[in-house]
């Protein structure tokens, strides 16, 4: 006889840790740090706070092939209201981010999963201290009960918040492999710093090394805004939920205007004509056939304006330039922002940069791809990411010759990034996104080729000038002797050659 049972969300992710990025001790350590750090960054940026984040990782024990670490992370973000602390971090699939808005977090899983991973590898509870900046600071020590998906409290304290401190501190133990994860962790912070020069990030690693990424801009990015769903981004289930949540005496027209992004009353009237539904039909009178018709019409009508992209929070070209320059000191940098676009009702923007020379890593001629989605650097699963596929294709048509390493930075900001898994490492190839990435990369590669051509031409001119300067004088002197004429001054001639090849006087020619 088969035995049937139900799994709680905690138990499901406990059994399938890999899909959330917890596959081996090195990768799990990386994912845990990343998820908690991203929560801290969200807690700051969604509330227009300049982030100050401290992460400390200390080795506290050893096992056969792995080590036990204590991870401490402190931020100056919004803090979590007392009544939500335990659920936010002690319960899987509980989130403040289940709204349509651009943010790093979306699944209600990452931070909690990191704590659960710590608990199942070390058996120790988690300590969370948080305050929203009011008169109290709250501290909880708890574990996650996997079977019931509920937090189990070990201790609970409140302190007076004399200094009006605001933020969150999380401290817990987990198994990991820092020597193997180190490269990824440091890269992750460096790449984050390269697009968030307004953040102050300090990482203390288990070897006692301090990695400090200082803030160089004192301006917070424009925070993203919440929006209502766009008619092209919904499915039948969501439509039914929206109808159920509205009063049954409301008319279809009022419902459309109230529930959807980009639907005003004249659009609603035009649309309902197209859908062949009377605008004053009451929601309570919509039967399944009518709801079906409404749904099909909503997704196929092309009279809706594309979703508004003002609600997104892109990095911005100046900030991108500043951040990359601060972290990589390139010789050449070029940035591009594509016009906003949308896919299946979700607005998105692609931003990109190409940097060359300086401290850009790699061999001469290499093009390293740095991928970002909603300001998260993506370091794993590169091969299946849409940007990688596009770049590989473009490399064939733009044969780049370069004497130094190159890097392309690609950022996609959207209210919904089509991640391939909850581990958030690779982006699926929605055709609209692929097209924008391709156009951004083409612009950057074209500009770079032009720049290289200019540099190479100049170098060639300098080489020629050296020869002219050496021989023109001699030729002039011999010519004078042969012809018995006055010596000619060749300086104006050299100046003419210099200006033809745009070589400044100051360029050394010997």
Ligand X SMILES: Nc1ncnc2c1ncn2[C@@H]1O[C@H](COP(=O)(O)OP(=O)(O)OP(=O)(O)O)[C@@H](O)[C@H]1O
- Applying CB under 6 A, does 33 fall inside the site for ligand X? no
For residue 219, the number of C-alpha atoms closer than 13 Å in the C-beta half-sphere is 8
Residues whose CB is less than 8 angstroms from the CB of residue 153 and which lie 6 or more positions away in sequence, other chains included: 86, 140, 141, 142
Binding mask 462-501 for Mg ion (x = CB under 5 A): ----------------------------------------
Distance CA 317, CA 355 (A): 13
Looking at the Cβ atoms of 121 and 130, the one nearer to ligand X is 130
- Applying CB under 6 A, does 168 fall inside the site for ligand X? yes
For residue 61, the number of C-alpha atoms closer than 13 Å in the C-beta half-sphere is 9
Candidate segments 24-32, 92-100, 347-355, 394-402, binder of ligand X by CB under 6 A: 92-100
DSSP annotation of 152: E
Candidate segments 36-44, 382-390, 473-481, 496-504, binder of ligand X by CB under 6 A: 36-44
Interface with ligand X (CB under 6 A), residue from 108, 125, 231, 345? 108
- Applying CB under 6 A, does 21 fall inside the site for ligand X? no
- Applying CB under 6 A, does 95 fall inside the site for ligand X? yes
- Applying CB under 6 A, does 259 fall inside the site for ligand X? no
- Applying CB under 6 A, does 425 fall inside the site for ligand X? no
Distance CA 23, CA 158 (A): 37
Residue 256 contact among Mg ion, ligand X, none, beta carbon within 5 to 8 Å by kind: none
- Applying CB under 5 A, does 259 fall inside the site for Mg ion? no
Interface with ligand X (CB under 6 A), residue from 39, 76, 119, 177? 39
- Applying CB under 6 A, does 377 fall inside the site for ligand X? no
Q: Which long-range contacts (CB under 8 A, 24 or more apart) does 314-319 make?
A: 314/349, 314/351, 314/411, 314/413, 315/195, 315/221, 315/351, 315/375, 315/411, 315/413, 316/221, 316/351, 317/351, 319/195, 319/197, 319/198, 319/217, 319/221
Residue 342 contact among Mg ion, ligand X, none, beta carbon within 5 to 8 Å by kind: none
What is the per-residue DSSP string for 59-119?
EEEE-SS-EEEEEEEEE-S----HHHHHHHHHSTT--S--SBS--S--SS-HHHHHHHHHH
Residues whose CB is less than 8 angstroms from the CB of residue 162 and which lie 6 or more positions away in sequence, other chains included: none
Looking at the Cβ atoms of 104 and 261, the one nearer to ligand X is 104
Looking at the Cβ atoms of 88 and 444, the one nearer to Mg ion is 88
The secondary structure element, H or E, covering residue 168 is: strand 166-176
- Applying CB under 6 A, does 41 fall inside the site for ligand X? no
CB of 427 within 8 A of CB of 371? Answer: yes
As given in the structure block, the two tokens for residue 143 are 């574990």
Interface with ligand X (CB under 6 A), residue from 57, 68, 88, 386? 88
- Applying CB under 6 A, does 109 fall inside the site for ligand X? yes
- Applying CB under 5 A, does 51 fall inside the site for Mg ion? no
Minimum separation from the CB atom of position 37 to Mg ion (A): 9
Burial class (CB in 10 A: 0-12, 13-18, 19+), 367: buried
Q: Is 211 helix (H, G, I), strand (E, B) or coil?
A: strand
As given in the structure block, the two tokens for residue 369 are 């791809």
Looking at the Cβ atoms of 33 and 367, the one nearer to ligand X is 33
Phi, psi at residue 380, to the nearest 5°? -105, 170
Minimum separation from the CB atom of position 110 to Mg ion (A): 4
Minimum separation from the CB atom of position 351 to Mg ion (A): 22
Minimum separation from the CB atom of position 35 to ligand X (A): 6
The secondary structure element, H or E, covering residue 172 is: strand 166-176
- Applying CB under 6 A, does 340 fall inside the site for ligand X? no
Looking at the Cβ atoms of 33 and 243, the one nearer to Mg ion is 33
What percent of the residues of the chain are helix, what percent strand, and what percent coil, each to the nearest 5? Answer: 40, 20, 35
Across 429-468, b (16+ Cβ under 10 Å) vs e yields: bbeebbebbbbbbebbbeebeeebeeeeeeeebeeebeeb
Candidate segments 4-12, 74-82, 176-184, 331-339, binder of ligand X by CB under 6 A: 74-82
- Applying CB under 6 A, does 341 fall inside the site for ligand X? no
Binding mask 3-42 for Mg ion (x = CB under 5 A): ------------------------------------x---
Pick out residues in 87-126 that bind Mg ion (CB under 5 A).
105, 110-111
- Applying CB under 6 A, does 131 fall inside the site for ligand X? no
Distance CA 356, CA 351 (A): 17
Looking at the Cβ atoms of 35 and 322, the one nearer to Mg ion is 35
Looking at the Cβ atoms of 107 and 140, the one nearer to Mg ion is 107
Minimum separation from the CB atom of position 111 to Mg ion (A): 5
Binding site for ligand X (CB under 6 A): 35, 39-40, 43, 75, 77-78, 80, 88-89, 95-97, 105-112, 168
Binding site for Mg ion (CB under 5 A): 39, 105, 110-111
């Amino acid at each position: 006889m088969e035995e049937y049972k139900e799994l709680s969300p905690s138990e499901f992710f406990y059994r399938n840790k890999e899909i959330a990025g917890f596959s081996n001790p090195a990768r799990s350590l990386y994912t845990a740090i990343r998820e908690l750090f991203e929560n801290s960054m969200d807690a700051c940026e969604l509330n227009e706070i300049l982030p100050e984040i401290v992460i400390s990782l200390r080795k506290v024990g050893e096992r056969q092939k792995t080590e036990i670490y204590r991870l401490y992370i402190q931020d100056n973000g919004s803090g979590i209201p007392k009544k939500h602390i335990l659920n936010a971090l002690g319960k899987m699939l509980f989130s403040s981010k289940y709204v349509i808005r651009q943010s790093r977090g979306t699944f209600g899983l990452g931070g909690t999963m990191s704590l659960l991973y710590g608990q199942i590898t070390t058996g120790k509870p988690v300590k969370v201290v948080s305050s929203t900046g009011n008169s109290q600071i709250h501290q909880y020590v708890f574990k996650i009960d996997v079977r019931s998906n509920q937090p189990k409290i070990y201790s609970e304290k409140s302190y007076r918040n004399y200094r009006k401190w605001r933020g969150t501190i999380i401290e817990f133990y987990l198994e990991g492999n820092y020597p193997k994860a180190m490269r990824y962790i440091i890269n992750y912070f460096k790449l984050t710093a390269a697009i968030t020069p307004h953040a102050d990030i300090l990482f203390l690693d288990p070897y006692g090394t301090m990695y400090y990424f200082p803030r160089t801009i004192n301006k917070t990015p424009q925070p993203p805004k919440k929006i209502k769903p766009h008619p092209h981004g919904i499915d039948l289930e969501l439509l039914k939920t929206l109808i159920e949540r509205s009063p049954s005496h409301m008319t279809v027209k009022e419902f459309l205007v109230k529930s959807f992004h980009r639907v005003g009353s004249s659009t609603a009237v035009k649309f309902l004509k197209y859908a062949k539904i009377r605008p004053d039909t009451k929601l309570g009178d919509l039967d399944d056939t009518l709801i079906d018709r409404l749904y099909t019409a909503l997704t196929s009508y092309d009279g809706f304006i594309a979703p508004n992209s003002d609600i997104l929070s892109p990095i911005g070209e100046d900030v991108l330039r500043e951040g990359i320059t601060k972290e990589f000191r390139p010789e050449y940098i070029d940035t591009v922002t594509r016009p906003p676009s949308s896919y299946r009702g979700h607005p998105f923007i692609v931003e990109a940069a190409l940097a060359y020379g300086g401290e850009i890593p790699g061999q001469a001629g290499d093009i390293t791809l740095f991928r970002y989605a909603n300001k998260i650097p993506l370091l794993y699963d590169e091969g299946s990411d849409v940007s990688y596929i596009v770049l590989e294709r473009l490399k064939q048509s733009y044969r780049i010759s370069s004497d130094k390493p190159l890097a392309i930075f690609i950022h996609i900001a959207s209210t919904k990034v089509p991640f391939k898994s909850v581990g958030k490492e690779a982006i699926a190839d929605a055709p609209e996104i692929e097209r924008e990435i391709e156009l951004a990369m083409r612009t950057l590669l074209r500009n770079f080729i032009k720049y290289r051509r200019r540099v190479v031409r100049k170098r060639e001119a300098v080489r020629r000038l050296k020869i002219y300067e050496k021989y023109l004088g001699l030729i002039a002197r011999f010519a004078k002797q042969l012809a018995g004429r006055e010596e000619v001054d060749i300086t104006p001639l050299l100046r003419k050659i210099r200006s033809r090849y745009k070589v400044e006087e100051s360029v050394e020619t010997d």
